[in-house]
Structure 1
Amino acid sequence: MSIRLISFAGTTLSIEYDGLTAARIVELLYQHVSTDYVSPVRVTYRLCSDDTSARVQLYRDETLLYDGHCAGSVAELLLGDSCYQLAAHCHTGLLFHAAALSGRGRTLILPGTSGAGKSTLTAWLISQGFDYLSDELVFVPWQTNTIQAFTRPLSLKKPARLVLSRCFDYEAQADSLLSSNYVDLVPPTLLSSNRREGVTRKAGNNPIIIFPQYQNRTHFEWQPLSPARAGLALMTHLINARNLPDHGFGEIARIAGCIPAYNLSYSGFDHLTDKFELVIAV
């Protein structure tokens, strides 16, 4: 049985795994996650695969989470549950449901709920030369402006296949993905024009917060937000508020006062190609 420790935002999880399929899942999900800082283990997962029958089992501590034959489904479940546990045990700063990228001299923070299009937008931005940080979790340690991101494969819902067809060939890369009935887990390096790059663990300087919203048949809109409006919007994407003093409101207000924030509405990437570079340069 092999062991991989996953540390992020002051929390460490342990993943015990055995079998070729289990090893492939763990490598694809967590290959870019740093283990530089190791705190006491909060949760232990056990992932076992039988490579003759293709059966895969996943336990969280002593609880059976999955017993079946779809590597994509168990990978999706393990990734989602581990992100939830990282958030549930985070007390050392603000943890946001957000994507993040670095490039053009800026760090982009893209808070968004499920369905807002943040992961699909993130995939497109990687294809345009931005370096990937995360499509799910962004952490700001208490009383700092440091941006840390949980670097994992992009979790792209099936409808994104059509939207991203111009920049990513799903069929040609099928052997490099893990897919369930609902999502494709895509290594970010596959979306980059340079396959050896496209991923970074470190956010740069000059951060900007962008609240993306995909809306069919809408015009491109880029709207600056006041610190008050930005703070209220950020609160809706803070996922560990119950673990923080005053639910993190004071820190949210501080961040909203020193990092510029914008609303972005768009109906397709054709709208963004010419305009996005101009607006983030402001």
Structure 2
Amino acid sequence: MRFSDLSSSTIYHYLKTQGVVYQCGPFNIQLKANIPFLAEQLHVLFAHYPFIEHDVLIDFRVNLARPYSHRYWWRPQVLFKTAEGDPGMAPFPLDHALPMLEWGTNWCVASQSHYYLMLHSAAVEYQGKGVLLPAWPGSGKSTLCAAFAMRGWRMLSDEFGLIDLETGLIQPIPKLIPLKNQSIDVIRNFAPDAVIGPLFTKTRKGDVAHFRPPLTSVAQSEVQAKPRLVIFPKYQSETRFKLTEVTKAQALLRLANNAFNYQIVGKKGFHAVKSLIDESNCYELYFNDLDTVVEKLQQLIESLPPEE
């Protein structure tokens, strides 16, 4: 069963009672919230996620709670709480509950998932070949990830390049993509049929609207991907498309510095990065046009030799 099989009222009933349990990539998340409009947003944006009714191991227990103070009625707020620890997040305005859920879930993954090497990277797959797009905020990796997803690529993640420390493969975690500021209209114009949620203005990251991952990407979220390309992207307004090869040594250093938990996972992290770089072609990408990027990178992937 998926969220799309339920009505908003049924989702709200679960939210305010035992909580909804859903799967996102390798994680089972239990969410409680007494917020009626959030149920409507989940019905649309979580439509493809599995809604779990049977007993499963819960990875993260999340509660979006309204503080019981004068703020319950006057300029109401919402708090992010979790059984896995205190993320130290300040309250958000109540109508920003969805961004709080998305950012709070990122904290859960980043603080609890050290059985993966966690790269700050988008990740996609085309023709069975995985592509990592490591970059820090503002580089355009989320915009690229949404664009590839709307052109038939498998979306693995826009935020976490989860590398399985045992297999070296990319573990999908197809979360909502928080498009920010100009990227929102860029994707709307690039893919008018994309499902994008409500606009949240004046957040701590500017204006934000959430892109819904395609059904095919969510349905294959248990299928790991073999990395073949590592591309360091950077949006540059004056450059339509520029792809430059990066040496293996440079790529290894950049990727290690890009990881959330490289020091925590220690020797396994080093071997994971080295193996990934050894088996991948590495490039630096400057771009300002999504159609060109998709076309050129499809050609690049198609030119790669098949896996031996």
- TM class by smaller structure: 0.7 to 0.9
| Superposition CA RMSD, Å | 3.5
| TM-score of the superposed pair, with normalisation by structure 1 | 0.78
Q: Is the 8 A contact 2:228 2:279 kept in 1?
A: no
Deviations 1:224-257 (A, max 9, x none): 2232122112112211224212582333122211
Q: Deviations over 1:184-229 (max 9, x none)?
A: 112123xxxxxx5454312444632221111111252222223212
In the aligned structure 2, how far is the partner of 1:273 from the partner of 1:44?
Answer: 38
- Give the equivalent residue in structure 2 for 1:137: 160
Distance in 1, matches of 2:157 and 2:295, equals: 24
Q: Structure 1 pair 78/250, CA: closer, same or farther in 2 (3 Å)?
A: same
Give 1:136 deviation, angstroms.
Answer: 1.0
Task: Give the residue type in structure 2 aligned to 1:88.
Answer: S
CA contact (8 A) 2:230 2:283 kept: yes
Structure holding more strand per residue: 1
Q: 5+ unaligned residues in a row in structure 1: which ranges?
A: 190-195
- Once the two structures are superposed, the pairs formed by residues 1-282 of structure 1 within 5 Å of their partners are 1-5=17-21, 14-26=30-42, 28=45, 32=49, 41=59, 44-47=61-64, 57-61=78-82, 65-66=90-91, 68-70=93-95, 73-169=96-192, 177-181=197-201, 182-189=207-214, 197=216, 199=218, 200-201=220-221, 202-205=223-226, 207-246=228-267, 248-282=269-303
- What's the CA shift string for 1:59-105, capped at 9, x where partnerless? 314878536341xx221122112112211122212011111222233
- The CA distance in 2 between the partners of 1:130 and 1:37, in whole Å, is 33
Alignment gaps of 5+ in structure 2 = 1-16, 67-72, 202-206, 304-308
Q: Which whole-Å CA distance do the structure 2 matches of 1:251 and 1:139 have between them?
A: 11
Q: TM-score, normalised by structure 2?
A: 0.72
Letter in 2 for 1:119: S
The answer (yes or no) to whether the contact 1:47–1:56 under 8 Å persists in 2 is no
Once the 2 structures are TM-superposed, how far is the Cα of residue 165 of structure 1 from its aligned partner? Answer: 4.0
* Distance across 2 between alignment mates of 1:76 and 1:19: 14
- Tell me if the contact between 2:20 and 2:31 (Cα under 8 Å) persists in the aligned partners: yes
SS of the residue corresponding to residue 164 of structure 1 reads helix
- Give me the identity figure in percent: 21
Question: Matched residues in 2 for 1:32 and 1:228: separation?
Answer: 39
Change beyond 3 A, Cα 1:210–1:220: same
Name the count of aligned residue pairs. Answer: 267
Tell me if the contact between 1:101 and 1:134 (Cα under 8 Å) persists in the aligned partners.
yes
8 Å CA contact 2:162, 2:170 repeated in 1: yes
Greater helix percent: which structure? 2
Deviation at 1:177, TM superposition (A): 0.7
Q: CA deviation at 1:118?
A: 0.6
Structure 1 residues 87, 228: closer, same or farther in 2, change over 3 A? Answer: same
- C-alpha distance in 1 between matches for 2:149 and 2:105: 24
Contact conserved, 1:101 with 1:203, CA < 8 A, in 2? no
CA distance, structure 2, for counterparts of residue 30 and residue 16 of structure 1: 17
With over 3 angstroms needed to count, the CA separation of the structure-2 counterparts of 1:221 and 1:133, relative to structure 1, is: same
Determine the structure 2 residue equivalent to 1:192.
none
Quote the Cα distance in structure 2 between the aligned partners of 1:253 and 1:204.
17
